[in-house]
Structure 1
């Protein structure tokens, strides 16, 4: 296909979507030491030592001043944390992964990825979201409205050139999961799921193998429409050696209803992004942000979801497979505290 995505974007007001949604440049400065790590204490060290080294828990991004006293020592601006906070983040004994979400809005270069990799220890693994240029079926206006079909949607060459290869070149062995999060689809596309599945299969089978460079790395697919959750979707993933990324989000069925798909793909690595508390429903991220900021405490604890996740995490690691779980602040109110609670649940029955 090889579609010129930039050219297509120039023909629509969708070119403004990055200006609306993109966060500040959070590429860490080389050798940055401006943000000190919060001393973790004995309990966190004990929890980390009790977890299998195959278990990588973490958060979605890291630039949150409200994590002072939890991850950072002292007060910092979100801009300073976005730029210099990863080094301190990676010193937290339980934070063994992080989801890099900024590349969803603007593809990242190998050099940018390499700067991240230099900030973390060798056993740290990144979860990285693919750019919207290959995972969103629509080109969008500045207010997020879809204005026309995206000709680069699920384009294999764009996925390789603008995502997979830069990640391999920059992150190397520190890749955990490269996640294609497929945005909500227009109803016209959802009416022909076989065609979408064929398109997804072409993408996944064209991707280069991760193992030579990133032995622990996996390709995963996350969706936002329940229409995908059918046996044929499982078959496409299995045939390509990809994993289902468990998405915990109000647009999808609760975790208990997604378990049959996970069981059908057993055995193998487990990838999960706990995005949003179901209490917020259609109100979404903005409602959660307003209710949870500054993200320094658990506002809406969800012990049932944590317990279900803990069982999957524990079983996957015990079977010898890697685990990658990222938690958003909008899941319970404070992602680092959610990670601590999840770690406690994982080791509770070991």
Structure 2
């Protein structure tokens, strides 16, 4: 394996763990637990230390917009940003260097608060070593930070795919609910653990049982103690469960 593109072995386990939601919307019922003043993002960032920007998948944001977001959060807050669907779903990772340049130029507005890039693939996109190699080479020539990839076709959960992603220091996402048995644990590059929780049994709606979150907290702590950078993002946002789940998890981790 090549030398780490993002070494940070001096960090404490707690500082390696980022917990947040997909977006920074706050349910009204939880407003009393957040500052009353400030933008929605500022209030959110007062309690949580990360957020996943999914809107970038659907539409571009200007570099100045990213810069404004970065300027409104604490120093230790980090953003994960999903790659546009033009790259992952329309071009399907092929011949997209121009699109990568445009996207990375935009998210560059986050500066040091850009924590991770999320590459979510369509369920129909099978693993093809040549295409993936070309894409990751282009991406790594432009971006040296953490990259998490969420494949959804069964062919990605294989030794050749694991080896290729590991070689480019790309972590495979653990997405819940799990579709493929091999996806029950994060995979590939051991330096990055990225967990996306969509709600179960009803995706995007269901809150997680506290026993499930307690077990998750232990797994996140163990991953951080092994030296990995750890991300835990809740996407069960449809009825506001994500914020409560994230707060419970962060409190359990005693990160702040």
Partner of 2:246: 339
- Deviations along 1:272-297, one digit per CA (max 9) or x if unpaired, are 221232x12xxx54xx3xxx6xxxxx
Whether the 8 Å CA contact 2:27–2:240 is kept in 1: the answer is no
Q: What SS does the corresponding residue of 1:53 show, helix, strand or coil? A: helix
Structure 2 vs 1, CA of residues 308 and 233 (structure 1 numbering), >3 Å: closer, same or farther? Answer: farther
Aligned to 2:66: 113
Q: Which residue is equivalent to 1:61? A: 23
Uncovered stretches (5+) of structure 1, i.e. residues with no partner? 1-49, 75-80, 137-149, 212-216, 293-297
Q: Cα offset for 1:70?
A: 3.5
C-alpha spacing 1:73/1:334, structure 2 compared with 1 (3 Å): farther
- Establish whether residue 132 from structure 1 lines up as the match of residue 85 from structure 2: yes
SS of aligned partner of 1:326: strand
Total equivalences in the alignment: 240
Pick from 245, 250, 253 the counterpart of residue 180 of structure 2. Answer: 253
1:116 Cα deviation (Å)?
Answer: 1.0
Q: How does 1:140-289 map to 2 (within 5 A)?
A: 150=90, 152-154=91-93, 155-167=95-107, 169-185=108-124, 190=126, 193=127, 196-207=128-139, 208-211=141-144, 217-249=145-177, 252-253=179-180, 257-259=182-184, 262=187, 265=188, 267-277=190-200, 279-280=201-202, 284-285=203-204, 288=205
What's the TM-score once normalised by structure 2's chain length?
0.81
CA contact (8 A) 2:166 2:189 kept: no
Q: Report deviation, 1:345.
A: 4.5
Distance change >3 Å, CA 104–CA 60, structure 1 → 2: same
Aligned position for 1:320: 227
Higher gyration radius (CA): 1
CA shift for structure 1 position 175 = 1.3
In structure 2, stretches of 5+ residues that fail to align are 1-11
CA offsets 1:193-225 (integer angstroms, 9 cap, x no match): 4xx3321221111113544xxxxx301111233
Mapped partners of 1:249, 1:198: distance in 2? 29
Residue 322 of structure 1 and its aligned partner are, at CA, apart by 1.9
Q: 1:232 to 1:343 in 2, by over 3 A?
A: same
Contact kept? 1:130, 1:179, Cα under 8 Å: yes
User: Does the CA contact (< 8 Å) of 2:170 and 2:189 recur in 1?
Assistant: no
Aligned to 2:19, the other structure's residue is in SS state: strand
Moved over 6 A (4+): none
TM-score normalised by length of structure 1: 0.61
**SS of 1:329 mapped into structure 2:** coil
Q: Deviations over 1:9-54 (max 9, x none)?
A: xxxxxxxxxxxxxxxxxxxxxxxxxxxxxxxxxxxxxxxxx97122
Question: Kindly tell me: are residues 133 and 106 of structure 1, through their superposed partners in 2, closer, same or farther at Cα, counting changes over 3 Å?
Answer: same
Contact 1:220 1:244 in 2 (8 A): yes
